[in-house]
Amino acid sequence: MVVGLGSGSTARLAVRHIGELLRAGELTDIVGIPCSTTTEAVAQEYDIPLTTLEAHPVIDLTIDGADEVDPALNLIKGGGGALTREKIVAQASKREIIIVDESKLSPILGTTWAVPVEVVPFGYGPQQRYLESLGAVVTLRLDKSGHPFHTDQGNIILDCNFGPIAQLPELAHRIKQRTGIVEHGLFIGMATEVIVAGIDGIRHLRRDT
């Protein structure tokens, strides 16, 4: 089985558990494709066999997290900065299972979270102005030392607060029209299931097909 290994704190818990099951012999015949270098390091620490999308272009199941989830199971992702790799893995996956706590549920995307947009560092100023022309309040993401945050691909992230987004597909399309913009954190129609942890227990949501 080919498993996509998501990034972020929640997904890393799942990666560690997979590694523990493998070590105990309760799980066998698994290869993983990590969504970030951080996840790759965790997988290697737990001796999870890794592969690539070139060797296995179809992923059976991916386990990942999200920053915001709407009732149709559309997502905002990229709070950890791995949105491009996460989307590549999600698009290659037969099943995309998202694990969140109930605070991540939202009536409409953009209510509680800005949309991360990954851009190439060269000439990012015009990309910022373009995103502002679409209605966003744009903030350059910084790392802990106060320098621009760089993704695993060496790009930077502009966090774009559009407020509640009424027209997701239209906005997603308009963001990608601009050269220099690599990817955005709107994951539309990609999650097949969302597992939600709350004070009343666990809920398992499935996307209508």
Domain extent listing, the chain = 2-102+188-196, 115-180
Q: Is 20 a catalytic residue?
A: no
Residues 115-180, CATH architecture: 2-Layer Sandwich (3.30)
Residue 82, SS3? coil
Specify the pLDDT at position 209. Answer: 54
pLDDT tens, the chain, 209 aa long: 999 999 988 888 999 999 999 999 999 999 999 999 999 999 999 999 999 999 999 999 999 999 999 999 999 999 999 999 999 999 999 999 999 999 999 999 999 999 999 999 999 999 999 999 999 999 999 999 999 999 999 999 999 999 999 999 999 999 999 999 999 999 999 999 999 999 999 999 998 75
Catalytic residue among 40, 68, 86, 118: 86
Is the fold of 2-102+188-196 the same as that of 115-180?
no
d(CA 22, CA 86): 23
In terms of C-beta density within 10 A (0-12 exposed, 13-18 middle, 19 or more buried), how is residue 188 classed?
A: middle
Specify the pLDDT at position 8. Answer: 82
| Cβ-based neighbour number of residue 126 at 10 Å | 12
pTM of the model as a whole: 0.94
The class that CATH gives domain 2-102+188-196 is: alpha beta
